[in-house]
């Protein structure tokens, strides 16, 4: 994922009240179709466009029922965020209470899982409908730091009338997404919200720093789990004939025999015991282990995939589905990888690094970034993607599934799809 420069909602030296009045005029002009007195920040303008395409009500949003307690508890268990809750609270709760803010943690769908901080602000948030169990994704609540950070996949601060829904104009919020370091999956976001009068440009940097600490905690936990699996793997591989690797459930390799070790291989999302085709190795036999998989390479002739489906239907998650004689598997894609694969699907003859750079960034000079990302993808999908130029293999059928009319495209893929 590209490094994003943090952008505070309040310009340096700006008077908060005067800036709020300017934002209110811009917001009303944008909704009425009048000429804008000034332009909103790029991240806000892009979100407003998504809200208009959705037809979201700027007075009410699109409220959906809150989760009942049993559903909320289930979401908390499934989110993968309970393990980092102490780190998030430890880094932010003191500030939240002192600065008249609340700390909010949501899952990848934008559902509020935990909320803490100033009692007075929590009561005020209750009146807004901003409490545990509600959906605060921007498709429901309009442009806001939580929902927009989940879509943009980078930290966002939103102030006053930058919120799309009018009843949030008295608020300011700063949120940063949280990703699982094992597979890059979006887990949710952490947010600080409070009255608009409490806006401060450093809040965004603080939230981003605490989110990175939480992700570092997950990374440390993962390395410990991988080391434990490595202890199990060494004696087991000594008894295995032929080439094999032992991986954790996410494809991270703990040990290998007869193969040049790599960091990670792509496993099917729904991997099961038995025969499977893996992009890195071809035909394999999968055997379950406590906390991972024993992957044995077979000597049979490889049966490469014959069909690849790039699924962009969901605005929240893109998927690559692969099928062939040896079975089928699917793999979640980061927004950047989904965009790159879409471009390659449109250009079956292939794209050079400079052409991909121009497609992605409007700048042909960012070839180092392009080559690094393509190298990561080719390590995962070696039997599908070729180089010089970068392209899908000629004998693979590629199908792109796009959203139906009126639905919002995945954030980073949208510009390329509309091109």
pLDDT tens digit sequence for 39-80:
999 999 999 999 999 999 999 999 889 999 999 999 999 999
Task: Determine the pLDDT at residue 234.
Answer: 79
Task: Determine the pLDDT at residue 21.
Answer: 95
CB 307 within 8 A of CB 323: yes
Taking the C-alpha atoms of residue 373 and residue 337, their distance in angstroms, rounded to an integer, is 8
pLDDT tens digit sequence for 125-148:
999 999 999 999 999 999 999 999
Angle between helices 353-361 and 367-380 (to 10 degrees): 100
306-417 is a CATH 1.20.1070 domain: no
CB 161 within 8 A of CB 20: yes
Reply yes or no on whether the pLDDT at 198 is more than 50: yes
Taking the C-alpha atoms of residue 151 and residue 54, their distance in angstroms, rounded to an integer, is 14
Question: b/e for 6-35, b at 16 or more Cβ within 10 A?
Answer: bbbbbeeeeebeebbeebeebbeebeeeee
Q: Hey, what CATH topology would domain 16-220 get? A: Beta-Lactamase (3.30.450)
CB 268 within 8 A of CB 202: no
CB 330 within 8 A of CB 322: yes
Structure tokens at 147: 């929902």
Task: Determine the pLDDT at residue 315.
Answer: 63
**One-character DSSP codes across 211-231:** HHHHHHHHHHHHHHHHHHHHH
In terms of average pLDDT, the best of 190-199, 230-239, 253-262 is 190-199
What distance lies between CA 35 and its chain's CA centroid?
34
CB 30 within 8 A of CB 142: no
Q: Per-domain residue ranges for the chain?
A: 16-220, 241-297, 306-417
Task: Determine the pLDDT at residue 23.
Answer: 97
Task: Determine the pLDDT at residue 414.
Answer: 45
pLDDT tens digit sequence for 298-307:
876 555 667 8
Question: b/e for 371-386, b at 16 or more Cβ within 10 A?
Answer: eebbebbbbbbbbbbb
- Please, what sign has the CA dihedral across residues 263, 266, 272, 274? negative
The SS3 call for residue 7 is coil
């Amino acid at each position: 994922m590209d490094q994003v420069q943090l952008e505070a909602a309040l310009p340096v030296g700006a008077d908060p009240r005067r800036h709020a009045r300017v934002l209110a005029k811009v917001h009303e002009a944008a909704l009425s179709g009048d000429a804008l007195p000034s332009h909103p920040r790029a991240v806000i303008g892009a979100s407003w466009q998504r809200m208009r395409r959705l037809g979201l009500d700027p007075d009410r949003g699109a409220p959906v029922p809150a989760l009942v307690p049993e559903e909320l508890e289930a979401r908390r268990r499934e989110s993968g965020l309970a393990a980092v809750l102490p780190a998030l609270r430890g880094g932010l709760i003191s500030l939240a209470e002192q600065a008249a803010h609340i700390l909010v943690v949501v899952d990848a769908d934008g559902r509020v899982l935990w909320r803490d901080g100033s009692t007075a602000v929590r009561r005020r948030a209750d009146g807004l409908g901003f409490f545990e169990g509600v959906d605060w994704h921007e498709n429901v609540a309009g442009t806001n730091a939580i929902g927009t950070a989940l879509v943009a996949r980078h930290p966002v601060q939103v102030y006053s009338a930058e919120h799309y829904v009018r009843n949030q104009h008295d608020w300011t919020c700063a949120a940063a997404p949280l990703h699982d370091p094992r597979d890059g999956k979006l887990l949710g976001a952490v947010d600080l919200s409070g009255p608009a009068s409490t806006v401060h440009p450093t809040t965004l940097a603080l939230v981003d720093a605490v989110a990175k600490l939480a992700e570092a905690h997950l990374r440390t936990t993962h390395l410990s789990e991988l080391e434990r699996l490595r202890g199990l793997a060494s004696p087991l591989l000594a008894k295995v004939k032929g080439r094999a690797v032992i991986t954790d459930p996410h494809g991270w390799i703990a040990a290998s025999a007869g193969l040049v070790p790599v960091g990670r291989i792509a496993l099917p999302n729904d991997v099961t015991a038995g025969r499977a085709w893996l992009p890195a190795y071809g035909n394999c036999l999968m055997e379950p282990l406590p906390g991972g998989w024993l992957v044995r390479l077979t000597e049979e002739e490889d049966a490469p995939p014959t069909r690849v489906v790039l699924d962009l239907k969901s605005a929240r998650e893109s998927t690559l589905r692969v099928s062939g004689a040896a079975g089928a598997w699917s793999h979640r894609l980061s927004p950047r990888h989904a965009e790159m694969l879409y471009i390659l699907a449109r250009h079956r003859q292939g794209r050079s690094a400079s052409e991909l750079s121009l497609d992605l960034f409007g700048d042909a000079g960012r070839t180092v970034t392009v080559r690094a990302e393509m190298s990561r993808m080719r390590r995962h999908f070696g039997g599908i993607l070729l180089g010089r130029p970068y392209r899908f293999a000629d004998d693979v059928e590629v199908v792109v599934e796009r959203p139906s009319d009126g639905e919002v495209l995945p954030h980073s893929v949208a510009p390329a799809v509309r091109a």
